[in-house]
Amino acid sequence: MTVVSLNGALGLVRQLAKQATSDEEQLDDYQSEGAEWIRSVFYCVSRNGEAVESWSSISENSVVQTADSYRYFVVELKNATAQYVNQMQWLHCPAFNWLLANLLVHAEVSATSVALGFSDRWIGGKFSWKILLAQAAGVVVAWSIWLAVVVALLIFELPWLAAGWIVLTILSQFVSWRKKRRRLAIMTSMLAAYGSLDSMALSWTIVWDALRKSRDDGAVWPPELYQHVERLKVA
């Protein structure tokens, strides 16, 4: 499992700064700038209300289940990525390349999972049977009301209205099915994109292709992510 800890990242910053310059004054500036930057990256994400001290790739099966556990400062994360790509070339390395891409993709996948309702039945990574039962009860009540309307129309000898009610329901269910199918396609392709970042031993071309496919399916990714991955794809 790929893991990047804050302490390990700070040590890597010092190492990269020494490789970038031998000038003592510039070395201090690099180390200070790099340490501030990597701390800002880790402070952009929290889990269960607490700042994370290390980051590891999460399995595709667990992303949806734990989506509500994570909170991101997405604007700050995007700014940190833009700063890394455009202003801190001396800091570029496989560990930070992977960390930024993984965080950006996970942030979007988690937010989309919650927005599209895929995480509704999971609280803190645990399946909620209460929510499932409440949703099932809602379905039963809704269809009971629907059936009662049909029966009432037939009792009052209004078959055309009953037929219209049934046709309208079929059309409504078809539209709902298409929307669910599109949401599922978006979620599936986004999870596949995240899965392409499961370790540092990766192909950035494959990551790029996964991002493009998910975009074609309707996913939305930040421009900073595209810039970051495209730079690595052609490197």
pLDDT at 154: 84
| pLDDT tens digits for range 212-226 | 999 999 999 999 999
Average pLDDT over residues 56-77: 86
Look at 204 and 123; give whichever has higher pLDDT: 204
| pLDDT tens digits for range 119-159 | 655 444 455 556 557 667 777 888 889 898 888 888 887 88
pLDDT at 199 over 90: no
Question: 26-30, 85-89, 162-166 — which is least confidently predicted?
Answer: 162-166
pLDDT at 49: 87
pLDDT at 184: 87
| pLDDT tens digits for range 75-96 | 999 999 999 999 999 999 999 9
* pTM (predicted TM-score): 0.83
Domain span holding position 76: 3-124+183-234
Q: Is residue 130 part of a domain?
A: no
Q: Is residue 65 part of a domain?
A: yes
C-alpha to C-alpha distance for 210 and 194, rounded to whole angstroms: 8
Q: Is residue 177 part of a domain?
A: no
Q: Is residue 37 part of a domain?
A: yes
- At 196, the amino acid letter reads S
Q: Is residue 169 part of a domain?
A: no
Question: 107-111, 127-131, 173-177 — which is least confidently predicted?
Answer: 127-131
Residue 195: pLDDT band by 50, 70, 90 thresholds? very high
C-alpha count within 13 angstroms, C-beta hemisphere, residue 195: 13
Average pLDDT over residues 56-60: 83
Burial of 187 (0-12, 13-18, 19+ CB in 10 A): buried
Q: Is residue 21 part of a domain?
A: yes
pLDDT at 53: 93
Q: Is residue 174 part of a domain?
A: no
Percent of the chain with pLDDT over 90: 54
Split into its structural domains, the chain has a count of 1
Q: Is residue 118 part of a domain?
A: yes
pLDDT at 128: 53
pLDDT at 198 over 60: yes
